[in-house]
Amino acid sequence: MAGGRSRRAYRREQIRPEELQAVLEAGTWAPTAMNRQSPVIVAVQDKATRDRLSQMNAAVLGHDGDPFYGAPAVLVVLADHTIPTWVEDGSLVLGNLLLAASSIGLGSCWINRAREVFDTREGKELLRKWGLDPERYRGVGNCILGYPAPGGVKAAAPRKPDYVVQV
């Protein structure tokens, strides 16, 4: 599983449509509580929108860098917060997206702060623009995608010895 490490450096070129579709399809097959399918994935490849999301995310952190590490695609995972398991459902979608990306050689990384971004006035405006009800959907996380650039992954830290408890 060491190949599935988070990538923090990307080539500028956009990923191919068939690769994006494979990752998105994997996300739609994530399990959700009682099969309610509360999440929605917004695939952003438009540079202007991607850059706007990056700026909004950076503002939550209080800096002006690119929290998306130059990745050309961002998959925003939102979920219907009226479903009690919305965070868990969205998290499973993100996990599937990350694993699918790794399995086909794409770089990916889970980027937090989607909730804070889409709870803002500007975030709610984006949801409306995308045809999503801002009173229903809240951000869970972002999956950035792209072709890995050299040196963009840290070595894996050793696993803690008590990670698994067998009973």
Q: pLDDT tens across 61-88, in order? A: 999 999 999 999 999 999 999 999 999 9
CB-based contact 77:97 (threshold 8 Å): yes
| Tokens of residue 100, six digits | 């699918």
pLDDT at 153: 75
**What is the mean pLDDT of the segment spanning 20-27?**
98
What is the C-alpha to C-alpha distance for residues 127 and 123, in angstroms, rounded to an integer?
A: 6
58-79: burial string, b at 16+ Cβ within 10 Å, e else? bbbeeeeeebbbbbbbbbbbbb
**Contact, 43 vs 145, CB < 8 A?**
no
What mean pLDDT do residues 33-55 have? 98
